[in-house]
Amino acid sequence: MNQKIIIAIDGYSSSGKSTLAKAISKKFKYKYIDSGSLYRTIALIAIRKKIFDSDLWNIRNFIPILKEMSLKFKWNQKSNQIDIFLNGENIQQKIRSEQVENKVSLIAQIPEIREKLTLMQRNIGKNKGIVIDGRDIGNYVFPKSELKIFMKGSIEIRSYRRYLDLKKRGEEVSYEEVRKNLIHRDIMDISRNISPLKKSVDSIEIDNTFLSIEEQLNLIFKFIKNKRKK
Ligand code: C5P
């Protein structure tokens, strides 16, 4: 019997979580939820509202600003992913910029924001049949998920992958800038007080520094097939 399960993929920035998650969602016809895109959306709003350049950079003033925003999610059948609309504008590409990456971990530290985004993710995933990637999914958002994967890779390989990705999108960045940003985000994600990035005891760890995507997928597909039979 093919039971619907929740597959949680956590790990370091640019460790290949979304590549793996997208391949799993395609193979098993599961919905893919990229939880980082929610935190990126809030960071984009904060940048646009010039929160970081002003005295408004405190939570008491930022939260009411968020309440004025209209955030809508639509399943994009083609990409099998949610597209995020901010006041009617599709911001899918804009949240991938280097500018957003430089601020998102600051936003991800705010308890009120984590609380709201956690509820949103639980709501989206309530019927199971999802693969969701992030930092706190296996430990906090869906602690009972049937399969938990934890991804890591050397800082050099992760920076290089991210650098190529940003270049492909036309961003003017150097490898060194990308490397610094990843180190900064790793530190912020590991050391924050609430729901920090941490491998859960019941997760399968994949270090993909020297693994091809095919090798990772072969390994994971076997685990998923076993879990769905139970
Ligand atoms: O996964 P992605 O790199 O898009 O995530 C962007 C940032 O959002 C991370 O660096 C992290 O600070 C934050 N994040 C988080 N919890 C999640 C997903 C992302 O704190 N579940």
* pLDDT, mean of residues 50-60: 74
pLDDT band at residue 1 under the 50/70/90 scheme: low
Dist CA 216 CA 208 (whole Å): 8
Pairing of strands 89-90, 81-86: antiparallel
Q: Is the distance from CB of 14 to CB of 166 less than 8 angstroms?
A: no
Residue nearest to atom 3 of ligand 1 (CA): 13
Q: Any idea which of 6-15, 135-144, 220-229 has the lowest mean pLDDT?
A: 220-229
Q: Work out the number of other CB atoms within 10 angstroms of the CB of residue 20.
A: 23
Residue 207: phi and psi, rounded to 5, are -100, 110
| 11 touches ligand 1 (CB under 6 Å) | no
Of ligand 1's listed atoms, the one at least distance from the Cα of 192 is 20
49 to each of 67, 81, 88, 93, 229, how far by Cα in Å?
13, 27, 17, 18, 49
Residue nearest to atom 11 of ligand 1 (CA): 105
pLDDT given at position 76: 87
Write down all domains in the chain, each with its CATH number in brackets. Answer: 6-224 (3.40.50.300)
* pLDDT, mean of residues 47-55: 83
pLDDT band at residue 50 under the 50/70/90 scheme: confident
* Length of the chain measured in residues: 230
**Residue-by-residue DSSP string for 131-178:** EEEESSIIIIISTT-SEEEEEE--HHHHHHHHHHHHHHTT----HHHH
pLDDT band at residue 105 under the 50/70/90 scheme: very high
Dist CA 25 CA 120 (whole Å): 20
pLDDT band at residue 210 under the 50/70/90 scheme: very high
Dist CA 163 CA 219 (whole Å): 27
pLDDT given at position 81: 80
pLDDT given at position 56: 60
Residue type, 48: R
Q: How many Å lie between the centroid of ligand 1 and the Cα of residue 37?
A: 7
pLDDT given at position 78: 82
Q: Quick one: what percent of the chain has pLDDT higher than 90?
A: 77
Dist CA 168 CA 203 (whole Å): 32
Chain segment 113-129, per-residue pLDDT in tens: 999 999 999 999 999 99
Q: Which residue has tokens 């919905």?
A: 31
Chain segment 167-203, per-residue pLDDT in tens: 998 989 999 999 999 999 999 999 999 999 999 999 9
Pocket test for ligand 1, best of 189, 190, 193, 200 (most atoms within 8 A of CB): 189
Residue nearest to atom 2 of ligand 1 (CA): 36
Q: Which residues contact 229 (CB under 8 A, 6 or more apart)?
A: 1, 2, 3
| 39 touches ligand 1 (CB under 6 Å) | yes
> Which long-range contacts link 56-61 to residues 24+ away (Cβ below 8 Å)?
59/110, 59/112
Q: How many Å lie between the centroid of ligand 1 and the Cα of residue 2?
A: 31
Question: In this model, does residue 75 exceed pLDDT 90?
Answer: no
Closest by CA to 3, choosing from 123, 127, 124, 120, is 127
